[in-house]
C-alpha cells in the first residue's frame, strides 16, 4: 500500500485493485445517459423550460455549446465529432445554434443570467476568430453573462494561435482546457495528434498573458507506445507549465465501437500493469507537486476553486465534469448536447442531419432523455456527495428528503459492508466516508446507490482504472 498521507489518498496494492477495479460509470449524471429513454419529447423539455420560474428553488443557469468539427482525427477518439477540412460547414451549424437558442429562450422563464458557459466538442477552436465572435454574439444576444461567472472553452493548441487566444479572452472567456494528452513525439505520432511541447508551452503562455484565470490540461494514459518513463517525463513537463487543473483520463481501446481506434496497433498498447504504474506515478508526482487529488482522474492546485469547493463541501459534478457552481439548470445547444432543466434531462440527436431537421422544423431537437422521480433526485444527491466529497451525512439526507437513511438504503449499507471489510469505506452511525484507500475506487462505491444498474444486467461499457 502506498500512503500519500498529506494528499488524503492511498494507492491500493495490486490484489485490491484486481478485486475492486470494476467497470463503473463516471456519474456526470444520474441516471447515467445510457438509461435515458425515447419517450422524452421536445415538448417535455419545453415544458421544463417554461416551468423554471415557478419551480420552488429556481436554480442558476448554465449554457453549453457543442461544436462538433475537427480538422483531423485523433486515433484514440471516442467523441461525437465530424472530421472535415471544409470550414464553410461551421456557418450553417452556427445558424442552427442561433435558431435553437431562440427556441430555448422563447420557452425559458425565470432569470436568464448565466453563471457558467462552456464550449466543448469536437474542437471549438475549429471556428475562426470571426465565427467565435459570432457564436458569443448569439449567446450574449439571448442571455446575460454574470459578473464573475465561469466561461470556458476546450482548446486544441493546433488550431489556436496567439491571435485566437487573445480573441477568446476579449470575447469574455476566462477559462480554458487545453487538449494535451501526451507530450512524447512518438506517442503523438502513434495517435495522429502531433503538437510539439513548444506549441503547448506557447499556447499556455499566451493564455496566461492574455489574462485567462484558469487553465486545465487534459492528459490520457494507456495510449500506444507510452511507458512509465515516457509518461513521467510528460508529467514533469506539465508540472513545469503549471496548469491550475489536470485531468488524466484512461484510454479505453474499443475499436469495434470507435472506428478511428482501428488505426492503433494492439501490440503498441501498454499492458494493464504498465497503465496502473503510469496512473499511480502520476498521482504520486502531482500530489507531491502541489496538486490535490480531487477524485477519479482530476487534480487541482490547492488554491484552485475546485480544491476550495471540495474542502467547503460545495463541489458539484455535471456533464462537463467537476464544477464549483451549485447544481445549475443547463441549456445545451448543438448536436449531441444534453440539457438538464428542473427534473428533465433532454438529449439532442448525435448526428447533425436530424438535429438540423428538427431545428428547421421549428422545434427543439430532443430525441431522448429522462424525467427524474423523487427517488432519482435522492439517489442523484447521494451519488454526487460520494463522488465530490467522499462523504454522505445521513442527517443532511434525512432533512433534505424527509426519509430515514438507514431504512431507505438498507440494501446499499449491506453491500457496502464488503467495502468496509477492505477498509475502503467507513460506515459510521451518522455518515458514510470513503477512506483514503477507497478514493481511487469512488465510482464503484457510488455505484452501490445506482438503482438502475442494480436492477439491470447491463454493467459493461463503463471504464476501469487499468
Ligand atoms: S480527440 Fe478531440 S480533437 Fe481529436 S478527433 Fe476527437 S474530438 Fe477531435
Is 122 close to ligand 1, i.e. is its CB under 6 Å away?
yes
| Per-residue confidence band for 462, with pLDDT thresholds at 50, 70 and 90 | confident
What pLDDT is recorded for position 320?
81
Using one digit for the tens of pLDDT, what is the confidence trace for 180-218? 999 999 999 999 999 999 999 999 999 999 999 999 999
Check residue 318 and give its pLDDT. 85
How do residues 339-357 score in pLDDT, each as one tens digit? 999 999 999 999 999 999 9
123 lines ligand 1 (CB under 6 A): yes
Rounded average pLDDT over 63-84: 96
Query: Ligand 1, atom 7: nearest CA belongs to which residue?
Result: 122
Does residue 42's CB lie within 6 angstroms of at least one atom of ligand 1? no
pLDDT band at 454 (very low <50, low <70, confident <90, very high): confident
The reported pLDDT for the residue numbered 321 is: 86
Measured in whole angstroms, the distance separating CA 353 from the mean position of its chain's CA atoms is: 25
Residue 326 pLDDT more than 60? yes
Fold classified for 1-31+373-466:
Arc Repressor Mutant, subunit A (1.10.10)
Mean pLDDT for all residues in the chain: 94
Give Rg (Cα) of the chain: 22
The yes-or-no verdict on residue 463 having pLDDT over 80 is no
Cα–Cα distance, 456 to 260 (Å, whole number):
30
pLDDT band at residue 319, thresholds of 50, 70 and 90? confident
Residue 191's alpha-carbon distances to 144, 261, 278, 297, in angstroms, are 40, 9, 18, 21
pLDDT at 464: 77
Q: Looking at ligand 1, which residue's alpha carbon is closest to its atom 1?
A: 77
Q: What percent of the chain has pLDDT over 70?
A: 97
**Residue 6: predicted pLDDT:** 54
Pick the closest to residue 134 from 65, 81, 236 (CA basis): 65
- Highest-pLDDT range among 5-14, 125-134, 296-305: 125-134
Higher pLDDT, 455 or 359: 359
pLDDT at 3 over 70: no
User: What's the pLDDT tens digit per position in 104-117?
Assistant: 999 999 889 999 99
CB within 8 Å of 421: residues ≥ 6 apart: none
Please give the angle made by the CA atoms of 369, 373 and 377, to the nearest 5 degrees: 95
| CB 223 less than 6 A from any atom of ligand 1 | no
316 pLDDT tier (thresholds 50, 70, 90): confident
- Of 122, 191, 249, the residue with max ligand 1 atoms within 8 A of its CB, to mutate for a pocket test, comes to 122
Mutation pick for ligand 1 pocket among 66, 67, 68, 70 (CB with most ligand atoms within 8 Å): 70
Domain 39-330 of CATH type 3.80.30.20: yes
Of all protein residues, the one whose alpha carbon is nearest to atom 2 of ligand 1 is 122
Q: What pLDDT, on the 0 to 100 scale, is given for residue 409?
A: 98
Ligand 1 center to residue 66 CA distance, Å? Answer: 13
pTM for the predicted model, two decimal places: 0.94
Is the beta carbon of 154 within 6 A of some atom in ligand 1?
no
Measured from the CB, is residue 67 less than 6 Å from ligand 1? no
Q: What is the pLDDT of residue 324?
A: 86
Please say whether the beta carbons of 17 and 465 come within 8 A.
yes
Domain ranges of the chain: 1-31+373-466, 39-330
Ligand 1 atom having least distance to the Cα of 73: 5
Between the CA of 122 and the centroid of ligand 1 the distance, in Å, is: 5
- So what's the pLDDT on residue 57? 72
- The pLDDT value recorded for residue 460 is 57
pLDDT tens, 424-444?
Answer: 999 999 999 999 999 999 999
CA of 423 to the centre of ligand 1 (A): 39
24 pLDDT exceeds 80?
yes
Tell me the CA–centroid distance for residue 123 and ligand 1, in Å. Answer: 7
How much distance in Å is there from the Cα of 52 to the middle of ligand 1?
35
Nearest atom within ligand 1 for CA of residue 81: 7
DSSP string, 316-381: EEETTEEESS-S-EEEEESTT-EEEETTEEEEPPSSHHHHHHHHHTTS----EEEE--HHHHHHHH
Residue 81 beta carbon below 6 angstroms from any ligand 1 atom: yes
Instruction: Report residue 466's pLDDT band, with 50, 70 and 90 as the boundaries.
Output: confident
Establish whether domains 1-31+373-466 and 39-330 are of one fold: no
Amino acid at each position: 500500500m502506498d500512503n500519500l498521507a498529506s494528499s488524503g489518498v492511498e494507492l491500493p496494492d495490486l490484489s485490491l485493485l484486481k478485486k475492486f477495479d470494476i467497470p463503473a460509470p463516471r456519474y456526470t449524471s444520474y441516471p447515467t445517459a445510457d438509461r435515458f429513454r425515447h419517450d422524452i419529447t421536445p415538448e417535455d423539455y419545453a415544458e421544463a423550460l417554461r416551468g423554471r420560474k415557478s419551480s420552488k428553488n429556481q436554480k442558476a443557469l448554465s449554457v453549453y455549446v457543442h461544436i462538433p468539427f475537427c480538422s483531423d482525427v485523433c486515433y484514440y477518439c471516442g467523441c461525437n465529432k465530424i472530421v472535415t477540412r471544409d470550414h464553410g460547414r461551421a456557418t450553417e451549424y452556427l445558424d442552427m445554434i442561433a435558431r435553437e437558442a431562440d427556441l430555448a429562450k422563447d420557452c425559458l422563464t425565470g432569470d436568464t443570467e448565466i453563471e457558467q458557459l462552456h464550449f466543448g466538442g469536437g474542437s471549438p477552436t475549429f471556428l475562426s476568430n470571426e465565427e467565435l465572435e459570432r457564436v458569443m454574439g448569439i449567446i450574449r444576444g439571448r442571455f446575460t453573462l454574470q459578473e464573475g461567472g465561469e466561461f470556458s472553452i476546450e482548446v486544441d493548441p493546433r488550431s489556436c494561435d496567439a491571435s485566437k487566444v487573445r480573441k477568446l479572452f476579449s470575447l469574455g472567456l476566462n477559462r480554458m482546457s487545453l487538449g494535451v494528452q501526451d507530450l512524447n513525439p512518438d506517442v503523438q505520432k502513434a495517435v495522429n495528434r502531433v503538437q510539439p511541447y513548444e506549441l503547448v508551452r506557447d499556447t499556455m503562455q499566451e493564455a496566461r498573458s492574455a489574462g485567462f484565470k484558469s487553465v486545465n490540461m487534459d492528459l490520457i494514459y494507456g495510449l500506444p507506445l507510452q511507458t512509465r518513463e515516457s509518461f513521467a517525463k510528460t508529467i514533469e513537463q506539465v508540472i513545469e507549465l503549471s496548469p491550475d487543473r489536470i485531468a488524466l483520463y484512461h484510454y479505453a481501446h474499443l475499436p469495434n465501437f470507435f472506428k478511428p481506434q482501428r488505426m492503433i496497433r494492439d501490440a503498441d498498447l501498454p499492458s494493464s500493469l504498465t497503465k496502473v504504474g503510469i496512473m499511480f506515478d502520476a498521482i504520486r508526482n502531482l500530489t507531491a507537486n502541489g496538486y490535490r487529488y480531487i477524485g477519479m482522474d482530476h487534480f487541482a492546485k490547492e488554491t484552485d476553486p475546485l480544491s476550495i469547493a471540495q474542502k467547503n463541501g460545495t463541489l458539484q459534478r455535471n456533464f462537463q465534469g467537476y464544477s464549483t457552481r451549485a447544481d445549475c439548470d443547463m441549456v445545451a445547444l448543438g448536436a449531441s448536447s444534453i440539457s438538464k432543466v428542473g427534473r428533465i434531462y433532454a438529449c439532442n440527436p448525435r448526428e447533425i442531419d436530424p438535429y438540423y431537421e428538427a431545428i428547421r422544423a421549428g422545434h427543439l431537437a430532443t430525441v431522448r432523455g429522462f424525467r427524474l422521480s423523487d427517488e432519482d433526485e435522492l439517489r442523484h444527491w447521494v451519488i454526487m456527495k460520494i463522488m465530490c466529497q467522499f462523504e454522505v451525512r445521513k442527517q443532511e439526507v434525512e432533512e433534505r428528503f424527509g426519509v430515514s437513511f438507514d431504512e431507505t438504503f438498507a440494501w446499499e449499507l449491506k453491500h457496502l459492508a464488503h467495502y468496509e471489510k477492505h477498509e475502503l469505506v467507513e460506515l459510521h452511525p451518522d455518515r458514510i466516508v470513503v477512506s483514503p484507500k477507497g478514493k481511487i475506487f469512488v465510482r464503484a462505491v457510488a455505484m452501490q446507490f445506482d438503482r438502475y444498474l442494480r436492477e439491470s444486467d447491463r454493467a459493461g461499457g463503463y471504464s476501469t482504472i487499468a
